[in-house]
Amino acid sequence: MSEEWSDAVLAALSPRDIASYLKMRGWRHVADHGRVIAIFAHADQTEELRLPVTAKSPDFARRMHELVINLANSTETNPREILTDFTLAPFDVVRVRSPDADDYGSVRLEDGLDLHYEARNLVIAAANAAASPEPRKSWRGRRFDEVTDYRANVRLGQTEHGSFVLTVLSPWNYAPAGQSFSFSETFGRRVTKTLSSALAATEQAIRQSVSDGMAPFLEAVPLGVSANLCQALANLAREGGGADVSVSWSPSGPPQAPVTISLRREDAGTLTEAAKELGAQEPDVGVLIEGKITQIAEAAEQFSGDAVLEAPLGNLVRKIAVTFSPSERELVWQAGHDKSWVKIVGDLAREGRRLRLLNPRDISIIEPTEEE
């Protein structure tokens, strides 16, 4: 055998994904051999290919080696390209290319770390959009369980030559336990499809924003565009001197063109502004706020439910408008009268420069204590 590959690489190949790869390219499963070999034939080829179907075989790596060589011979392809396809078969691949690399394809360490961090943010933003039952303009704090599990399955691939290219490997067939049958696609594939639609929509929104301001970004929210995605792209464009971001599909599926967005450093400003606008319009859901009720001028029996909560947020004490339901008014009025601190859970939204707490719930008085 002329090619030398590590057994570990060959042993890690997925027979299931390679079978899909072969079928997508016209090979048919025509026979079996013993318990662990599936034989594939192609209408246009006289050769047969033998796919070991279980990694438990003691000669699994060797049979995979032969499969790579035989397929390369049959299709007149470089065996290394076949092995790369096989290796990536379980994944859709997100590539982030920084043109800011030197002739060796290296970047400054700090810039490289930022690229990795923002590539991760990009994928998480897409995963949140894929997981959410309804479009959201921004993702803060809480995360969907399937996103957390999916993140644990995303891998960082080898960097590739050509400027500086980092690869994020997204398992296309990842499906969390109990995935709803209402989805015809796996969660992993929904994430990369969402990312590709969001990238395309972002590129279009950047162009339209020249004349239409931030509105095109808001309109693109149903396609997966969010404040987080825009901010990640902005940082990539700024730190990398521009950036190319692409999504290419697992070789085990039907051949499809990759989706690519090319950002210039100048786009960073537009994207940052879009991120701010989108972030400002999305309430923080399920925020716990502690503060004092103020600005209740009416007597208890005339209290309309409109009040202001003064609460520390970050380094500032902010005034937050709240409208309480009739069942909560007595408690709230008393807390305001007694200047008691309260705990309230709600969805924090921005209305211009003001803050409003929507859907206030789980209201309770914080009893003072004299103990340390």
Partner 1 sequence: MPITTSDNDIKERLSIAFATAVAARAGCMLVEWPKDKQSLDVTLRPISGSSEIVELQLKATSQDVVSEAGVGVELPIKNYNDLRSEDAAAPRYLVALVLPDDATLWLAQDAEQLLLKRCAYWLDLRGMPPTINRKTISVTIPTSNIFDVQSLLGMFEIAEGMRRQRPESRDE
What is the nearest approach in angstroms of partner 1 to the Cβ of residue 251? 18
Is 3 a binding residue for partner 1 by CB under 8 A? The answer is no
Contact letters for partner 1, residues 57-96 (x by CB under 8 A): xxxxxxx--x------------------------------
Q: Which is nearer to partner 1, 34 or 326 (CB)?
A: 34
Q: Is the dihedral of CA 202, 206, 207, 212 positive or negative?
A: positive
Q: Which is nearer to partner 1, 27 or 303 (CB)?
A: 27
Q: Which is nearer to partner 1, 35 or 353 (CB)?
A: 35
d(CA 8, CA 228): 37
Helix, strand, coil share of the chain (percent; to 5): 40, 25, 35
What is the nearest approach in angstroms of partner 1 to the Cβ of residue 49? 9
Q: Which is nearer to partner 1, 2 or 302 (CB)?
A: 2
Q: Which is nearer to partner 1, 57 or 226 (CB)?
A: 57
* Interface with partner 1 (CB under 8 A), residue from 21, 22, 42, 52: 52
Cβ proximity of 328 and 342 under 8 Å: no
Is 25 a binding residue for partner 1 by CB under 8 A? The answer is no
Distance of CA 349 to the CA centre of its chain: 24
Cα Rg for the chain, rounded, in angstroms?
Answer: 27
Q: Which two tokens stand for residue 33?
A: 């051999």
Q: Which is nearer to partner 1, 7 or 330 (CB)?
A: 7
d(CA 60, CA 58): 6
Q: Is the dihedral of CA 245, 250, 251, 255 positive or negative?
A: negative
Q: Which two tokens stand for residue 72?
A: 């390369």
Among the listed ranges 42-50, 132-140, 249-257, 321-329, the one in contact with partner 1 (CB under 8 A) is 42-50
Q: Which is nearer to partner 1, 6 or 327 (CB)?
A: 6
What is the nearest approach in angstroms of partner 1 to the Cβ of residue 151? 33
Q: Is the dihedral of CA 292, 296, 302, 304 positive or negative?
A: negative
38 CB-near residues (< 8 Å, 6+ apart): 15, 19, 29, 31, 32, 50, 51, 53
Q: Which is nearer to partner 1, 66 or 149 (CB)?
A: 66
* Interface with partner 1 (CB under 8 A), residue from 34, 133, 141, 326: 34
d(CA 360, CA 325): 8
What is the nearest approach in angstroms of partner 1 to the Cβ of residue 31? 5
Among the listed ranges 27-35, 80-88, 219-227, 288-296, the one in contact with partner 1 (CB under 8 A) is 27-35
Contacts 24+ apart (CB under 8 A), 44-52: 45/74, 47/73, 47/74, 49/22, 49/74, 51/15, 51/18, 51/19, 51/22, 52/15
What is the nearest approach in angstroms of partner 1 to the Cβ of residue 39? 7
Is 39 a binding residue for partner 1 by CB under 8 A? The answer is yes
Is 300 a binding residue for partner 1 by CB under 8 A? The answer is no
Residue recorded with tokens 């990694």: 55
Interface residue list for partner 1 (CB under 8 A): 1, 4, 7, 23, 28-37, 39, 47-48, 50, 52, 54, 56-63, 66
